[in-house]
Structures are given as structure tokens and as C-alpha cells.
Amino acid sequence: MSSVVVHQLWVSGPLSNLEKISSNSFVQRGFSTVVWSYGGLDNAPKGAEVRDARLVLPESMIFRGKSGSLAQFSDLFRYAVLNSHGGMWADTDVVALTQPESIGSQPFLVTERDQTKPLKALAKRLLRRPEGRSVNSNVIYNPSPSTGNIIDLAYGYARAFPKENIVWGELGPRLLAAIESIYPDHGFIVHDPIFANPINWWECPRVLMAPGQKLIDSASFLHLYNETWRRAGVDKNDKFPSGSLMEFLAEKYLY
């Protein structure tokens, strides 16, 4: 069994095809895959362990953002489970492209490319990130939880933050980026976008559905950006276009 445990969350109900592709990719690549749920998850891939999410956070703590999304609760949950159990977090729209042996023992965060306007010089110095890149929380590795590290700090903040005022990304990428920027000795590797977000979010799901798109060899993970599918009105259970990257992933990890 792999020594790298991957935690995922599916709050309730069955997985769509996209989430099944994600979880099964970790199983097939050799990760010890745990899917946490509050109930109704009856179609997890064979080899994935389904655990009661109440062991991490009580059901009474579930909340939705202003748009009705559970994504903000997922941000809180990932910090909670990584702080108590350690290991790796992967959103259920992330596909594993590598084996656990390649992960190593160093904790890490990942980044993505963004479409923000050029930063002023002071902002660039404070953020300490190359221009056009920002921290994302879709994959996090925290193998050895410790008091005062990035994940512990993020969990404390996210737990206390008033949930009625929360907006998209506030407890996820924006929070991690803020902590990382003011904590120079945090000890986490911060990977380039190619590592876990090789396809830009604004290109999804279009590029994923386009014929001829191939996997990027140097990437360790592929982020499918589920939210862009929802906003584009794409059904995650529809048949994927012939010759597309999604069809390739479905044949490998779904059928």
C-alpha cells in the first residue's frame, strides 16, 4: 500500500463521471485514496476508501457560499483533514498523472496561471511569486502536520471566518496565497503551474473537449476545473467528444 494518503471530499450523493475519473486515477496510480462523505456516496471507484466526514468536521459545520456552492466548505474541510491526518489533498476534479513514489517527503503548495493585470512593484515583492501566477489549493501536500505551519494557520483562520460573508476563493487560494506571502520560512515547496495546473482555468472545459489535446508529459497532476464546467453549462455525465483528452481519461479511468 502507498505511504501517500490522498484525501478527497464529496459532501453527499453519488459522484459524477468527472469525479469518478479523478478518484480512480489516484487509485490506479497507487495512492491510498480516501473519499470523505456525509452520506449517499455509493459509487466510489473500487479501491477507494469511503470514510465518514463527521470524523473530521461535524455535519452542523457544513455551509454554502453566497452562490450556494459547497466549495468554501471544502476549503475548510481540506485544512481540517490535513491538519489532523496529514497526507495529500486533491480536489475531486484533479487527475493524478504520476505515482506516489515521485512525490517525495517535502510539503508543497501549487500555483496556476492567472489573467490579472500586471502587478505593481511593491505587490510583486510582497507576494514573491512570478507575475501572472498565483497559489491554488487544488493539490496540497502536508505529510507531517505541525502547530503553526501554513495548514494549521489556514485551518484556524478558516474555522473562525464569518461564513455568512464569504465569497468564492476567500478561504482557498486567496487565503493560502496571503499566508504564504507573509511567512517566508514556511518550508513548503511552491510548484510552478505545470506541476498541477498545466491547462489554464479559462481554457477549460473547451481545451479538454477539443480533439487532439494531449497530456503534458512534465505535469504530475491535471486540474479539470469543475467550476468552469458548471458555468459553461456542461453536463459532467455526458459522453465526451471523440478524440478529446476527456475521452482518453474516461477510457483509462472510467470505463
Domains of the chain by residue range: 5-253
Query: How many helices, marked H, and strands, marked E, lie in the chain?
Result: 9, 9
Least Cα distance to 81 among 168, 164, 10, 155 occurs for 155
Specify whether the CB–CB gap between 201 and 226 falls below 8 A.
no
Specify whether the CB–CB gap between 91 and 138 falls below 8 A.
yes
**Residue-level pLDDT at 255:** 82
pTM of the model: 0.92
- Architecture of the CATH domain 5-253: Alpha-Beta Complex (3.90)
Return left, alpha or beta for 203; rule: phi > 0 is left, psi -120 to 50 is alpha, else beta: alpha
Within the chain, which residues score under 70 in pLDDT? 1-2, 116-131
* pLDDT tens sequence across 147-176: 999 999 999 999 999 988 788 889 999 999
- Cell numbers for 43: 459509487
